[in-house]
Structure 1
């Protein structure tokens, strides 16, 4: 193991920038490259949930009942295009193969150690000079019927059994939650979680990384990453000279396969696209997140409005925005709110989350010496990004793999 004095991080989202920040903490000179800009991928328009209590495998046994129905429902949260795509259908077959109780429990056991470190890692960023805030707030969780709450409560109990503290409680009947309509008949609260305004938070992290001496280069399209003869690694950037450093981290989200196919990373990464928009709220603002699990819709306070996010759309990461998916989210929650203007939408957005078949991220060494990967978090890149970056920086600079990322070996 040679000393790591310099590193290139490819990807300026939460995971990449958190890795860069922690490498700087260990005295490494860092350059960050991104083909578009800071938070230009799924780090901008997501719900901003810091919910380790809900960071669980996406493939669960309920998919066997929900999936076929969703394929026939244009308003369903799960969306798969009807077309011949061998790679996509191969991914879905592997994804569904993990939707068993045993596979879910094994994946949950693997996620729990890093879940338990997630909020502490945010505290470290904020106390270390990142000028942004993560907000403590109770989650309001609503269902139209009592029976709809049972799968959610069951999952949260399974998360608790795996080793997390889960503070979930039922709101007494007759107690109205502001801005929820009478159609929401079963309401719960979940404590101990946080949220952020994701785009501004990631921009603040980039500002901190830059202020501590890193070069953050945008419009930098990386075409290849490889081991350098004589040690270290090198990066080809379209229109630029080859860049060299002691280590390279590929943190490009749903675009990971573009650079990792030749690095021994065999686990497929599929874009699971999410959509969001923001709407105004009349009367007192909604100052806490709202979740409708049966509708798979997440809502978060965002710059005086309410950001509403949903959908898991399995398409290519660069395919066009699909307006029908926004309509599906609106249709699924219309009637569940009061004083929320769903027809005055702004900031309509789509972003591609990197989903793996087994529900586990890809974090660690590749088969190419000096090259590492950090991604594949699915829906949980925001909550697990800082903890991932801290652990990977430790591996890069010491050669030892922290326990919390051992199950995420990219060569598995």
Structure 2
């Protein structure tokens, strides 16, 4: 059966993965985007593929922090002051999901998805995406035993949900033998085995290249403002586009509600904005490093133009309008927290400062599947895990679009829930 499909803003990893998977099923695709591949949240994030930390973001610990912590300028989870009632509605719905029972239920859903993460990337690479994954053991560092109790409890709950975790507790000496960049301020660490990371911008560009090489069309400068049913087809309307298509897939990230609400998608979605920057380091890291107390994720990056090794320092979950400009203070908060814990970093060489808006659903679960409008589908709401779950999301959407059947893996992810 011949299909054509257009994306109403979506040249990030979710939209491109869906296009690529549809091509593998013989579908002619066109991807449209305001800017281009990896221009949004797919570019500057940490690039981790870490199933152990791919978990529901509405967690009971956030309620314990309280509003004061969220409004603190030094908090790793920040709420930008706003008079927008949409912010209040989202935060109220988010808070209702920060319960142990809800977290455990959502974690079981994530454990099922997480079992397929690596395979979904490997299938893309085997089918022609010229991307590269790096295997490593993650170092998780703590300044005190007290700081470690929360993450140890979290990992225990992740394991109880059925997800396999291979972790070893390291004393300070053993931790520094494995990762010499850790300072004496790291009192203990975990070594989390069997993880992966990638360069997100490079991988998403490789995915875009593969879509084009497969006969797909990538059109930039297209700002989609509406998708509606028009007879037996969907009509995609906006700046630079007014066309009919057999199926439209909405993968517009943090801007998803602007298009999806007209199609029965009512679950609150908001921008969880992540910040990052690149910094030179004297010698390469052994692998990705995580400091949970600071919510700071550090990932190796290719050498800079000066030939020096570099790292990407990512952190902060800021709830704010996706169109707000970068707030340099957020980057300083993360860097100040990392500074005492890692040696060998040239903090004077900070560049590539970035903010990206990640679409977070109020219940912490992605939205994957059809909407109330026949022929209109949604892939979004992944929060921090859009990169991690992008290829799998694309496979699931392509299966539903081409077969008309709802994949078993999408149980609990219905956009109309």
Output the TM-score relative to the length of structure 2. Answer: 0.95
Distance 2:67 2:215 in 1: 51
Aligned residues of 1:4 and 1:396 also touching (Cα < 8 A): no
Describe how 1:283-302 pairs up with structure 2 within 5 A.
Answer: 284-302=283-301
Aligned residues of 1:365 and 1:372 also touching (Cα < 8 A): yes
* 1:341 to 2:346 alignment: yes
Cα deviation code 1:38-93 (max 9, x no counterpart):
11110000000111121101111111222434235311111112232211011111
Question: What SS is found at the alignment partner of 1:271?
Answer: strand
Question: What SS is found at the alignment partner of 1:45?
Answer: coil
Distance 1:318 1:38 in 2: 18
Specify the alignment match of 1:232 in structure 2: 233
Please, which of 213, 220, 236 is the counterpart of residue 218 of structure 1? 220
Specify the alignment match of 1:248 in structure 2: 248
Describe how 1:369-384 pairs up with structure 2 within 5 A.
Answer: 369-384=374-389
In structure 2, the CA distance between the partners of 1:33 and 1:172, relative to structure 1 (3 Å rule), is same
Residue 261 of structure 1 and its aligned partner are, at CA, apart by: 1.3
Specify the alignment match of 1:267 in structure 2: 267
Describe how 1:6-405 pairs up with structure 2 within 5 A.
Answer: 6-10=4-8, 11-175=10-174, 176=176, 177-229=179-231, 231-240=232-241, 242-282=242-282, 284-304=283-303, 305-405=310-410
RMSD (CA atoms): 1.2
Question: What SS is found at the alignment partner of 2:118?
Answer: helix
Residue 329 of structure 1 and its aligned partner are, at CA, apart by: 1.1
Residue 360 of structure 1 and its aligned partner are, at CA, apart by: 0.5
Q: For structure 2, which runs of at least 5 residues remain unmatched after alignment?
A: 304-309
Cα deviation code 1:160-199 (max 9, x no counterpart):
2212110111123422231111001111111121000000
Cα deviation code 1:328-363 (max 9, x no counterpart):
111111211110122310100000000111000111
Cα deviation code 1:362-404 (max 9, x no counterpart):
1100111100000000000011010111011001100111111
Distance 2:88 2:300 in 1: 36
Distance 1:115 1:72 in 2: 32
Distance 2:374 2:195 in 1: 38
Distance 1:340 1:373 in 2: 41
Residue 4 of structure 1 and its aligned partner are, at CA, apart by: 5.2
Aligned residues of 1:4 and 1:397 also touching (Cα < 8 A): no
Question: What SS is found at the alignment partner of 2:60?
Answer: coil
Cα deviation code 1:204-255 (max 9, x no counterpart):
00000000000000111111111221x1212013134x22221110000100
Distance 2:217 2:210 in 1: 11
* Larger deviation, residues 134-143 vs 146-155: 146-155
Output the TM-score relative to the length of structure 1. Answer: 0.97
How many residue pairs match? The answer is 407
Aligned residues of 1:18 and 1:386 also touching (Cα < 8 A): yes
Residue 405 of structure 1 and its aligned partner are, at CA, apart by: 1.1
Distance 1:355 1:261 in 2: 15
Aligned residues of 1:4 and 1:246 also touching (Cα < 8 A): no
Question: What SS is found at the alignment partner of 2:276?
Answer: strand
Residue 148 of structure 1 and its aligned partner are, at CA, apart by: 1.3
Aligned residues of 2:268 and 2:361 also touching (Cα < 8 A): yes
Residue 200 of structure 1 and its aligned partner are, at CA, apart by: 0.5
Q: For structure 1, which runs of at least 5 residues remain unmatched after alignment?
A: none
Runs of 4+ in 1 over 4 A off after TM superposition: none
Question: What SS is found at the alignment partner of 1:57?
Answer: coil
Distance 2:182 2:359 in 1: 32
Distance 2:219 2:71 in 1: 44
Specify the alignment match of 1:411 in structure 2: 416
